[in-house]
Structure 1
Amino acid sequence: MSISPELYEAITRIVEQKISEIKVTRENFNKLTSIVTELSNNILKLAEAQVKTEERVASLEETVKKLIEAQVVTEDSLAKLAERVTRLEEAVERLAEAQKRTEDSLAKLAERVT
């Protein structure tokens, strides 16, 4: 059984078209595979960066905690220092009053002697 040239050409065209479609599909599949691989690599890089970020945040949290503790100590020390300054001011005021009384007494004594 022989086929006509027209039928042969029609079959050839259909086969070539199907091969071309399969080729495009294969190319698209290869591109998609490449894109998925690239995305997978990028996700791994992002995950690694996220781990580093979380480590940095944890470190910063620890640093902030230490700073808060140091701030509490500083505020306590400052409050104690303010109390001491207040006591010193009161002592200086008492000394000034005593000095004034001493000067007054000395002046009275000097008047009596002269």
Structure 2
Amino acid sequence: MLVEYVWPKLKRKKFYFQHDGAGAHYAIAVREWLDENFSDHWIGRRGPFDWPARSPDLTPCDFFLWGYLKDIVFKKPPATLMELQQSIEEACEQVTEEMCRKACRSVMQRLRDCLHREGHFLSY
């Protein structure tokens, strides 16, 4: 999915790619591909910017976006890969700038809460 769908849309843009630490995503081949294509612009387990595999949900993607998109996409489970892709694209279009601002504004409080809980997962 990363190679065939995401990369063609992103390869000319300058940004940091945050990669999760799932076991399958930690394979040497995956990390080598990320090093080659994102050089020093990826965040993830053993990447240029290390991010623990089982860290508390501190980024807006982790604590807001993925769950929001999954709720929309799987409200009516797609039957085909094309339907899944279409459903993901439509769900992404529903994310407003204000939703993103609100999620980003909450990061500092989440960091404080994480410190208070000594790094344990947050339950909101």
Q: Which bin holds the TM-score, normalised by the shorter protein?
A: under 0.3
Give the structure with the higher percent helix. 1
Higher relative contact order (Cα pairs below 8 Å, separated by 6+ residues): 2
In the superposition, the TM-score normalised over structure 1's length comes to 0.18
